[in-house]
């Protein structure tokens, strides 16, 4: 028996990295998963890799019309929803003094505004007893120079999880934040050279970045009834980086 047997899940930004690893695991545990991403070719490839019980819906998590199209598809194909993992997000470094309006609008537009509407627009489809998780970042717990816009745009999730679980308690919908530290993903490859990656790894107690599958198992915990008494919490999966 799978931990998500018969459940319907939406995972945004899931054509690579930790959310793709999560989508595979959710399907292995019995769910039907809707995944999103902006690039159609990457989406097609991810759907092929997952192989079964998956629907790909192209779209930008910062675009409210795309979110409407996503939930229209879920409604048409499955009628309702049990798990939402709002994972689409991103950022780029910019030290205070050099932050542009465009950078602020882009990253708050996706990580804060996009996440809020990803959750809000899912609500009409949510079954009672469902689980919502959002991908934060340990950037909002540490004090990493250059990352204030990104950290700020993710830090909102902690407050939202607490308020939303209170607003949704009659429907027994739980809301938690999954907060990774450095994880070896395509985004890491794009953003950082080898020296920067080694510098980040020097901050991690085990000296090695997280793997996407290590975030996927934490997401499964929050998505499933294994975490039935966990609500409004931040699960930090950063190997202890911000604990020491």
Ligand X SMILES: NC(=O)c1ccc[n+]([C@@H]2O[C@H](COP(=O)([O-])OP(=O)(O)OC[C@H]3O[C@@H](n4cnc5c(N)ncnc54)[C@H](OP(=O)(O)O)[C@@H]3O)[C@@H](O)[C@H]2O)c1
Q: Is the dihedral of CA 129, 20, 31, 8 positive or negative?
A: positive
Choices 21-29, 56-64, 122-130, 161-169 (CB under 6 A): range interacting with ligand X: 56-64
Distance CA 126, CA 132 (A): 10
H helix or E strand, kind and range, residue 39: none
What are the tokens at 209?
A: 């970045």
Q: Quick check: 118 and 67 in contact, CB under 8 A?
A: yes
Does 187 help bind ligand X (rule: CB under 6 A)? yes
**CB-wise, 172 or 201, nearer to ligand X?**
201
Of residues 7-46, those binding ligand X (CB under 6 A): 12-19, 36-39, 42
Site string for ligand X, 79-98 (x = CB under 6 A): --------xxxx--------
Catalytic residue among 34, 85, 108, 150: 150
Tell me if residue 150 is catalytic: yes
Give the CB-side neighbour count of residue 184, counting CA atoms within 13 A.
12
Distance CA 241, CA 154 (A): 17
Site string for ligand X, 221-240 (x = CB under 6 A): --------------------
* Least distance from ligand X to the Cβ atom of residue 235, Å: 13
Among 55, 131, 137, 241, binds ligand X (CB under 6 A): 137
**CB-wise, 1 or 102, nearer to ligand X?**
102
Total residue count of the chain as it appears in this document: 244
Total residues contacting ligand X (rule CB under 6 A)? Answer: 30
Beta strands in 74-171 (DSSP E): 81-86, 126-135
* Least distance from ligand X to the Cβ atom of residue 198, Å: 14
* Least distance from ligand X to the Cβ atom of residue 126, Å: 20
Does 60 help bind ligand X (rule: CB under 6 A)? yes
**CB-wise, 127 or 200, nearer to ligand X?**
200
Q: Quick check: 212 and 239 in contact, CB under 8 A?
A: no
Does 203 help bind ligand X (rule: CB under 6 A)? no
Q: What one-character-per-residue DSSP string does 55-96 give?
A: EEEE--TT-HHHHHHHHHHHHHHTS-EEEEEE---------T
Residues marked as catalytic: 150
């Amino acid at each position: 028996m799978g931990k998500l047997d018969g459940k319907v899940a939406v995972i945004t930004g899931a054509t690579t990295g930790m959310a793709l690893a999560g989508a595979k695991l959710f399907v292995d545990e019995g769910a039907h998963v809707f995944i999103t991403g902006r690039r159609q070719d990457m989406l097609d490839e991810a759907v092929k890799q997952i192989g079964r019980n998956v629907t790909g819906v192209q779209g930008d998590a910062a675009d409210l019309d795309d979110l409407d199209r996503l939930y229209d598809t879920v409604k048409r194909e499955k009628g309702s929803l049990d798990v939402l993992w709002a994972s689409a997000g991103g950022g780029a470094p910019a030290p205070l003094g050099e932050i542009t309006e465009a950078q602020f609008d882009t990253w708050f537009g996706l990580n804060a505004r996009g996440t809020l509407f990803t959750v809000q627009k899912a609500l009409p489809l949510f079954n009672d007893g469902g689980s919502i998780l959002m991908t934060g970042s340990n950037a909002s717990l540490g004090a990493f120079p250059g990352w204030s816009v990104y950290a700020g745009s993710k830090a909102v999730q902690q407050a939202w999880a607490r308020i939303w679980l209170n607003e949704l308690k009659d429907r027994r919908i739980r809301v938690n934040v999954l907060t990774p530290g450095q994880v070896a993903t395509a985004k890491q490859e794009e953003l950082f050279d080898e020296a920067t990656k080694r510098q980040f790894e020097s901050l991690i107690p085990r000296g090695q970045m997280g793997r996407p599958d290590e975030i996927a198992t934490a997401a499964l915990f929050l998505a499933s009834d294994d975490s039935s008494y966990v609500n409004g919490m931040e699960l930090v999966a950063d190997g202890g980086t911000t604990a020491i």
